[in-house]
Amino acid sequence: MKLAKALKLALVGLTLAFAILLTASSSLSKSGSAEGANAPPETNQYKAEDYVGAETCKGCHEDQFNGFSKTTHFKLTQMAGRAPDKQGCESCHGPGKAHVEGGDKTKIRTFQGESAKSISEACLRCHAGKEEHNQYRRGEHWRNDVGCTDCHAPHHAPSGLQKMESATLKAIAANLTPQSEVKMLRNNQPALCLQCHAEIKGQFTQPFHHRVLEGTMKCSDCHNPHGGFEQKQTRLAIGADAPCLKCHTDKQGPFVYEHAPLKVEGCAACHSPHGSSNPKMLKRSQVSQLCLECHSSIGQFGAPNTPSFHNLATGRFQDCVICHSKIHGSQTHPFFFR
Amino acid sequence: MKHKGILILLLLLAMGPVSALAQQPADKKDPAPADEGKVGNYTVTSSVELGVRGISVNGEADKFRSDFNYRPGFHVFNSSLLMRAPNNDGVLFDTLLINSYGWGADPNQYLRVSAEKTKWYRFNADYRQMDYFNSLRNFAAPPPLFLSQHISNTEYKVGDFDLTLLPQNERVRFNVGYSLQRNNGPSVSTYDYARDEFPILVPVRVDANDFRFGVDAKLWVFDLSFQQGFRYYKEDTTYDIDLPVPVPVPLNPGNNPTNQSVLTGFHREFPTRGRTPYTRFTLHTLLARKVDFTGRFVYSSATTRHQMFETLKGKDFSGNNIVLDRFEATGNAKRPNGLGDVGVTVFATDKLRISDTFRINSFRVNGGDHLTETLLRTRTTPFGETPLPPVFVDNLALSLTKYRRALNTLEVDYEFHPKFTAHVGHRYSDRRIEIGTLTKALGSAGELEPESFDNRTNTWFAGFKARPATVWTVYFDMERGETDNVFTRVENYDFTNLRLRSVLKPVKTLALNFSMVTKDNNNPARTDEIPPRDFGADINSRSFTASADWVPNQKFSLNTGYTYTRVTSEAAIIFFVSSLKREGMSRYFLRDNFAYVNLFAQLTPRMALSAGYRIHHDSGQGDRVGTDLTQPISGTPELIFSYPQQFQSPEVRVAFKLHEKLDWNVGYQFYSFAEKFQNLQHYNAHLPYTSLRFYFGGRGGQ
């Protein structure tokens, strides 16, 4: 414990040290100027004649253009009626006329040296306002300065990378699939997510796990990578229910007798949602242990204690769900027997 | 589980491509094909991999099936089709993407379809089917038999189908959607009756259908989103012991060896119907580039109605003959649920943002059940069958759960430098829960008197992202506060969570990652005694991960990593041994070492090798031994549990390029599981396979 506390103190100290160091360097540096500004960019304040069109950009930036032409974004360049600031290269890089005329790099937005938030604001010009993205500016990824281009490749990620192939784990390594290509992702799910959330990979390879590495499920089935109001950026199912209930539909209820933690604390009170070595992805290897950690009240409120005939020395009472088989909720039995 | 026929088939399928390969002229050119083919206006990238897999399991086959449920036989390993009209001039679609996997002898199967006609529509379908099997000797398997009494062999089908009209329209977009969930198949559960437990056959039958429609619109400066959905739920699962289906567990006479209870007949019908209409409305705006505002309101009102009819016969714990015990119940439950969210971000300067997120959630669950029981018994005496007085029960049960929670999160983030950003915030929650149940004879007096639980919690959090060098990024965040889990203990958990991630990319082809996640939940509960005693729970977890991804070129890649996960839980608990109340400690230990390595190598222009190895080794509680509750107890008893085990899964695959449009693959997977304590569920599973992958159009990324 002392070691852990010392470690935490050291890390907090490290945080402060970084802050001071980099704040000082920021004040001395010339690069932390308007290029890195994070306020959302201007919208609808452009002159049409300042835009030159993607074909003009292609003249000098052919490689980027060829990549871009394979992306979903490129479709917008072919849609008549779209404003020039919302199609082609200039939708992100801004009007190119001044840059084209002199070839001056400073006359166009290159995003070089900008923070993830600043880059993301450029994307949000078009992508904000959709239910999926509405809470991005207050999400976990935003908070930790993970931006759109950390996961998405605006110029098209290279395809055809053949890496580790498994007969059962379709998403174990970084293969760019057509699915990820269409979404302009830098990699497939879950390999993309696991690049940062590396500790989760071990959970998905436990004997009991949700079939994510197999490709049957995706991280984004349960989590909204673009933010959201829920903790852990989980999605809601069926209006306002936990995402687990979308598939585990028989647990949705409502039940006459609700096992209160199911709705009030959530499924993760008892289960490890990514995977576990324990049956049913439970947090403990022995069911009675899991139950008793809550059902041990010392007189104040809380879950009720077990009755005295529950003789824990016998095998019958070590697996609580043998009797309490409807532990998630019951329509007719207060103790979840049927 | 031997499948010689499948193995012979597998061998035959393997032989053909070998001879074909032998006849191929040497190809000295780089094998990289064109990425895409052309069909009409479309570029096409497509492949389908068909093959056969054999399986041989030594040891506990049920455990292997519970873990993976892979089956032998032919199946579609993988298929994908991507068609694109580069100039948006497709007739029905500009983009069509179809992915599928596992159809045939695989427990995890999916089909995904995405189609889009620019300007007009976007369609996404995601259909999944999972064959679920569960039969374990360490779950619902009371000693001394250690045979599972909760067995499942069911099938889950889950589908989502969504259509968006005018997807690129900035003014208005419409969407309709449908989702289905099905769970069907045989299973075994248990029923507690007359102080004994009896395995019951349960053919599961659960259906749910979800219909929804909505519109997204831009109105003045506001982005509006509306969705209305209806979900219908239907369960027709029945419960029997009379079905002529062999099961590997004795249906009678129950688990309790100390009484005479026997079930000789049991049947239960329990049709349940549910309906959940839900409405979601969202408003978003960005005002003067200074204030980002999102408001959302969700309302749902779930209801279920049930009818139960149950009959059973046999003997009760006193040896009386149960001629008929008949239960009938009808009832319903409702859960109206309102959820309101508001999020505001103020761009105070171009580097400083202040955000506040507020949530109010309120729901109520009202339930009512009217249950009648008619019990007819006789007693066998030397003079014959003597009827006992019948028992009639007519009960009304009411239940209530009320929940109201307000949650506010205030946070500030500041960009000190493009290479250093930091945030700090505070979260406050105020929660009130009321819970009560009442069961009374119909017509008798009595009112539901719910018990209420209140708590308020405060949490602080902070973090930063730093790029000390162009090639190195560090993420750090931590939280310290109280959770609002009121049921587990008498006081809030004090928790400290900490995360540190480091991503180092010294060169473009190499990424070195490190992460550390720690969680400490300390419950400071104390007893009412004088002087009070600690009666809390401390749960600590540590996870350290290091990994490396090296992709020097398209012909070679290596990914490897190691994760150490350590969980220690120590909780004061109350339990009973031979009717004596005991206060003891419950300790749980997880000490998992996980390592993996994945390798890809293009050995020759026509041959590629993939190999992988994964291992979990959990040493669990080590040498610690808990109190033997079957012996006289002295001192504070300790229940110590863990699940020490080792689980390995190496695999190898060799792909031969036979033709520009054809690959032949041959591979082998091995799963090995060994547990330390019961030693009942070891298995070694061998899964050889071979497959042919056909390409239509270009090869693309597969």
* String of DSSP letters for B433-460: EEEEEEEEETT-------EEEEEEEEEE
Q: Tell me, what's the pLDDT at B18?
A: 41
CB proximity B271 to A under 8 Å: no
What 3-state DSSP class applies to B404?
strand
Please indicate whether, in this complex, the C-beta atoms of B466 and A18 are within 8 angstroms of each other: yes
Confidence tier at B303 by pLDDT (50, 70, 90)? very high
In angstroms, the separation between the Cα of residue A167 and the nearest Cα of chain B is 7
How far is residue A46's CA from residue A53's CA, in Å, rounded to a whole number? 14
Q: Tell me, what's the pLDDT at B64?
A: 96
Q: Lowest-pLDDT range, A38-42, B213-217, B380-384, B600-604?
A: A38-42
Chain B residue with minimal CA distance to A334?
B437
- The residue behind tokens 């600031």 is A85
Look up residue B636 and give its two tokens.
Answer: 């504070």
Name which residue leads in pLDDT, B271 or B452: B271
All residues of chain B having their beta carbon less than 8 Å from the beta carbon of residue A239 are: 229, 276, 278-280, 298-300, 337, 339
Chain B residue with minimal CA distance to A227?
B343
Q: How many CA atoms lie within 13 A of A335 on its CB side?
A: 13
Look up residue A285 and give its two tokens.
Answer: 């290897």
Chain A residue with minimal CA distance to B342?
A229
All residues of chain B having their beta carbon less than 8 Å from the beta carbon of residue A68 are: none
In angstroms, the separation between the Cα of residue B333 and the nearest Cα of chain A is 5
Pairing of strands B151-165, B204-219: unpaired
Name which residue leads in pLDDT, A49 or B94: B94
Give the rounded percent of residues in chain B with a pLDDT score beyond 90: 66
Please indicate whether, in this complex, the C-beta atoms of B296 and A319 are within 8 angstroms of each other: no
How far is residue B208's CA from residue B182's CA, in Å, rounded to a whole number? 7
Q: Tell me, what's the pLDDT at A23?
A: 42
All residues of chain B having their beta carbon less than 8 Å from the beta carbon of residue A110 are: none
How far is residue B583's CA from residue B638's CA, in Å, rounded to a whole number? 9
Per-residue DSSP letters for B67-82?
HT----EEEEEEEEEE
Q: Tell me, what's the pLDDT at B619?
A: 96
Q: How many CB atoms lie within 10 A of CB A55?
A: 11
Q: Rounded to 5 degrees, what are φ and ψ at A169?
A: -100, 95
Q: Tell me, what's the pLDDT at B14?
A: 44
In angstroms, the separation between the Cα of residue A324 and the nearest Cα of chain B is 8
Q: Tell me, what's the pLDDT at B247?
A: 47
In angstroms, the separation between the Cα of residue A230 and the nearest Cα of chain B is 10
All residues of chain B having their beta carbon less than 8 Å from the beta carbon of residue A176 are: 701
Mean pLDDT, chain B, whole residue set: 88
Residue B290 has pLDDT above 80, yes or no: yes
Mutation target for B interface from A25, A249, A316: give the one with most B CBs within 10 A.
A249
By the 10 Å C-beta count (0-12 exposed, 13-18 middle, 19+ buried), B68 is classed as buried
Over residues B444-488, the pLDDT tens digits come to 888 888 888 888 899 999 999 999 999 999 999 999 998 766 565
- The residue behind tokens 């005329």 is A101
Q: Lowest-pLDDT range, A146-160, B14-28, B88-102, B523-537?
A: B14-28
Mean pLDDT computed over B595-624: 94
Output the CA–CA distances (angstroms, integers) from residue B26 to B23, B166, B692, in the order listed: 9, 52, 20
Please indicate whether, in this complex, the C-beta atoms of A322 and B282 are within 8 angstroms of each other: no
Look up residue B506 and give its two tokens.
Answer: 């010294």
Please indicate whether, in this complex, the C-beta atoms of A331 and B270 are within 8 angstroms of each other: yes
Residue B664 has pLDDT above 70, yes or no: yes
CB proximity B699 to A under 8 Å: yes
B47 CB-near residues (< 8 Å, 6+ apart): B78, B79, B80, B693, B694, B695, B696, B699, B700, B702
How far is residue B96's CA from residue B112's CA, in Å, rounded to a whole number? 11
Q: Show which of residues 117-156 on chain A sit within 8 Å of chain B, judged by CB atoms.
A: 117-118, 128-131, 134-135, 137-138, 142-146
How far is residue A202's CA from residue A214's CA, in Å, rounded to a whole number? 14
Please indicate whether, in this complex, the C-beta atoms of B418 and A246 are within 8 angstroms of each other: no
CA nearest neighbour of B356 among B298, B294, B299: B294
Residue B260 has pLDDT above 90, yes or no: no
What 3-state DSSP class applies to A173?
coil
- The residue behind tokens 């404003």 is A83
All residues of chain B having their beta carbon less than 8 Å from the beta carbon of residue A11 are: 476, 478, 498, 500
Q: Tell me, what's the pLDDT at B144?
A: 78
Please indicate whether, in this complex, the C-beta atoms of A331 and B351 are within 8 angstroms of each other: no
The shortest CB-CB distance from B573 to any of A172, A239, A296 is to: A296
All residues of chain A having their beta carbon less than 8 Å from the beta carbon of residue B626 are: none
Output the CA–CA distances (angstroms, integers) from residue B159 to A280, B100, B506, in the order listed: 23, 13, 43
All residues of chain B having their beta carbon less than 8 Å from the beta carbon of residue A263 are: 335, 363, 365, 401, 403
All residues of chain B having their beta carbon less than 8 Å from the beta carbon of residue A250 are: 183, 206, 235
All residues of chain A having their beta carbon less than 8 Å from the beta carbon of residue B231 are: 238
B220 CB-near residues (< 8 Å, 6+ apart): none
Look up residue B306 and give its two tokens.
Answer: 């049930």
Amino acid at A334: P
Name which residue leads in pLDDT, A1 or B110: B110
A101 CB-near residues (< 8 Å, 6+ apart): none
Q: pLDDT under 70 in chain A at which residues?
A: 1-46, 157-164, 171-177, 299-302
Residue B182 has pLDDT above 60, yes or no: yes
Over residues B547-601, the pLDDT tens digits come to 999 988 888 989 999 999 999 999 889 999 999 999 899 999 999 999 999 999 9
CB proximity A32 to B under 8 Å: yes
What is the torsion angle, in degrees rounded to the nearest 10, for the CA atoms of residue B168, residue B169, residue B172 and residue B175? -30
Residue B252 has pLDDT above 70, yes or no: no
How far is residue B510's CA from residue B547's CA, in Å, rounded to a whole number? 11
8 Å CB contact between B368 and B398: yes
What is the ipTM metric for this complex?
0.90
Q: Tell me, what's the pLDDT at A174?
A: 58
Over residues B309-324, the pLDDT tens digits come to 999 988 888 889 999 9
How far is residue A13's CA from residue A17's CA, in Å, rounded to a whole number? 6
How far is residue B528's CA from residue B535's CA, in Å, rounded to a whole number? 10
Interchain CB contacts (distance < 8 Å): A and B:
570
Q: Rounded to 5 degrees, what are φ and ψ at B11?
A: -65, -45
pTM: 0.89
The shortest CB-CB distance from A229 to any of B225, B233, B359 is to: B359
Residue B117 has pLDDT above 70, yes or no: yes
8 Å CB contact between B461 and B479: yes
Output the CA–CA distances (angstroms, integers) from residue B452 to A162, A229, A253, B400, in the order listed: 59, 27, 22, 11
Name which residue leads in pLDDT, B252 or B223: B223
Look up residue B70 and give its two tokens.
Answer: 């892979």
Mutation target for B interface from A12, A22, A222, A276: give the one with most B CBs within 10 A.
A22
Output the CA–CA distances (angstroms, integers) from residue A147 to A28, A67, A90, A225, in the order listed: 26, 21, 20, 11
How far is residue B139's CA from residue B148's CA, in Å, rounded to a whole number? 6
Q: Tell me, what's the pLDDT at B27?
A: 40
Q: Tell me, what's the pLDDT at A39?
A: 42
Confidence tier at B13 by pLDDT (50, 70, 90)? very low
8 Å CB contact between A317 and A288: yes
DSSP for residue A269: G
Q: Show which of residues 92-111 on chain A sit within 8 Å of chain B, judged by CB atoms.
A: none
Strand partners, B331: B306, B369
Question: What percent of the residues of chain B are helix, what percent strand, and what percent coil, each to the nearest 5?
Answer: 5, 70, 30
| Helix or strand (DSSP H, E) at A180 | helix A178-182
Q: Rounded to 5 degrees, what are φ and ψ at B591?
A: -135, 80
All residues of chain A having their beta carbon less than 8 Å from the beta carbon of residue B651 are: 166-168
Give the CA diameter of chain A: 88
CB proximity B672 to A under 8 Å: no
Does the N-terminal peptide bond of residue A190 adopt cis geometry, omega within 30 degrees of 0? yes
Per-residue DSSP letters for B640-694?
EEE--EEEE--EEEEEEEEETTEEEEEEEEEEEEEESSS----EEEEEEEEEEEE
The shortest CB-CB distance from A239 to any of B276, B433, B581 is to: B276
Mutation target for B interface from A165, A255, A297, A333: give the one with most B CBs within 10 A.
A165
Strand partners, B214: B175, B227
Q: Tell me, what's the pLDDT at B700?
A: 60
Terminal-residue alpha carbon distance, chain A: 44
Output the CA–CA distances (angstroms, integers) from residue B342 to B278, B298, B429, in the order listed: 19, 12, 15
Over residues B509-556, the pLDDT tens digits come to 899 999 999 999 888 777 777 777 778 888 899 999 999 999 888 889
Pairing of strands B204-219, B95-101: unpaired
Q: Tell me, what's the pLDDT at B248?
A: 46
- Tell me, rounded to whole angstroms, the distance of Cα B408 from its chain centroid: 29
